[in-house]
Amino acid sequence: MTYYFKQKLLGDLASTIKGMLHFQQSVESWMDDAGIDISDSQYKKLAKYVDLLKGKNEQLNLTRIVDSQEVWIKHILDSLIAAPFFKIEAGMKVIDIGTGGGLPGIPLAILFPSVQFTLVDATQKKIDAVREFAHELNLNNVNCIAERIEVLGQNPDYRDQFDLVLSRALAPLRVLIELSVPLIHLYGNVVAYKGPEYISELSDARNAVAKLQCEQPKVLQYSLPENKGNRTIILITKKRVTPNIYPRRDGMPANRPL
């Protein structure tokens, strides 16, 4: 290799490393703005998860977003910067329903190693991939289950067992309420990650809120860094024991919404 090419290669490498360090600093400062501290090893795990997700995506269609920076902002940061809006602390039992490729469950499990996460999806292949991600990332606070949420909601091992249910891009709020509320104990919370258009979902969910005996939903708003859009968190607290008929059998919550 000529001297010129060696120098060029070294120069390219140096600028890639500089770019990577600069991006890590940006992530840390975005997280800082949201009031979240992240350690170097947590950053590295999140970066590894971005690579794993992108790697499996070609086979499994886990996300429409493929550019690394977009994955970071629209998936990883979206999952994490909402966390200060809800109570999540050591010892809690959290379930992520319809986790797909592990969102928001995997980034949150990296950020909160003392919280127990159960990640559920009906698609076996997706859950196999997420289990592999958790293994590769050395996450021993993650349990993955391939099952329909309607089935878990009627299983005494899962019904009323969780402090918090998370869901992102799963279903309209009225459907989500029927699927999620049976899984939390009294005064537990449901967190629905939504986009900016939540108003009609809220009004359509009035009947579901009443039937599932919840408090009025609370709406919290935040913006993604780099002007990547506005997002909404809808928080719902369970105030009475859920009637036994909910969730109705497989497919009913989505096909005949309350």
Among 27, 45, 107, 121, binds ligand SAH (CB under 6 A): 121
Among 49, 100, 115, 198, binds ligand SAH (CB under 6 A): 100
| Choice between 39 and 234, CB closer to ligand SAH | 234
Binding of ligand SAH at residue 66 (CB under 6 A)?
no
| Choice between 34 and 254, CB closer to ligand SAH | 254
Among 15, 25, 29, 123, binds ligand SAH (CB under 6 A): 123
Task: Provide, rounded to whole angstroms, the least separation between the CB of residue 203 and ligand SAH.
Answer: 23
Task: Provide, rounded to whole angstroms, the least separation between the CB of residue 70 and ligand SAH.
Answer: 13
- Residues 150-209 within binding reach of ligand SAH (CB under 6 A): 150, 168-170
| Secondary structure, 3-state, the chain | CCHHHHHHHHHHHHHHHHHHHHHHHHHHHHHHHCCCCCCHHHHHHHHHHHHHHHHHHHHHCCCCCCCHHHHHHHHHHHHHHCHHHCCCCCCCEEEEECCCCCCCHHHHHHHCCCCEEEEEECCHHHHHHHHHHHHHCCCCCEEEEECCHHHHHCCCCCCCCEEEEEEECCCCHHHHHHHHHHHEEEEEEEEEEECCCCHHHHHHCHHHHHHCCECCCEEEEEECHHHCCEEEEEEEEECCCCCCCCCCCCCHHHHCCC
Among 71, 76, 99, 134, binds ligand SAH (CB under 6 A): 99
Task: Provide, rounded to whole angstroms, the least separation between the CB of residue 166 and ligand SAH.
Answer: 8
Binding of ligand SAH at residue 34 (CB under 6 A)?
no
Binding of ligand SAH at residue 126 (CB under 6 A)?
yes
- # binding residues, ligand SAH (CB under 6 A): 15
